Amino acid sequence: MSATDAVTFWDGVHAARPAAAEPRPNERLVETVAELSPGDALDLGCGEGGDALWLARRGWRVTAVDISAVAAERLAGHARSHGLGDLVRAERHDLGESFPEGRFDLVCAHYLHTPFGLDRSTVLRTAAHALRPGGRLLVVDHGSTAPWSWDQDPDVRHPSPREVAAGIGLDPATWAVERADAPHRIATGPGGRTAEVVDHVLLVRRTA
């Protein structure tokens, strides 16, 4: 399927959802970043921007990207309405075709899954190389399938954090794995529906 198909699909996913009045940050971002000093952050696959807005409120300068123009435009509107327009830059990128410019202290990729062709390992390797020394790459993947997920394939396999790290192929002399685990949490989906889900969490720090 073409890049146009991917854009149409993700625009449709976001357009079908009512715009969130107050997008919420991901739990794994909050627990990982709360104690870090703010700097420049890149949010890959930002959706409507709960993570980007949370970071901006804590003084981070955020570049937030998504393949969906609907998602990027909603985030830009939220940022302006909350007085965060100077701290949040929302951009549309198909990460298989382009990558945002800049150097970052934090790159986060939450649930960067798609039914379309995407060389995720290359994208995440590019992200790691965009880090400044001391910067961190946070990758949070689904370790299980929520009942409301768009992907209900019973045969889907969720690679472990260590497998994701191996696929990125970073030199251990330059990047160190700080966290690779699979915590459980109670997630809330559409209509307030809840379910226990598993996250696969990988945190890598650029040491040099």
Domain coordinates in residue numbering, the chain: 3-206
* pLDDT < 50: residue spans in the chain: none
CA distances from 112 to 23, 59, 203 (A): 17, 24, 15
Q: Where are the beta strands (DSSP E) in 67-110?
A: 88-92, 104-110
pLDDT at 19 (0 to 100): 81
| Separation CA 152–CA 1 (nearest Å) | 19
Name the class of domain 3-206: alpha beta
**pLDDT at position 185:** 93
Amino acid at the residue 202: L
pTM (two decimals):
0.92
- Which residues share a beta bridge with 201? 140, 181
Residue 44, classed as helix, strand or coil, is strand
Q: How far apart are CA 110 and CA 24, in angstroms?
A: 13
3-state SS of 153-197 is CCCCCCCCHHHHHHHHCCCCCCEEEEEEECCEEEEECHHHCEEEE
pLDDT score for 150: 65
Candidates 85, 60, 197; CA nearest to 141 is 197
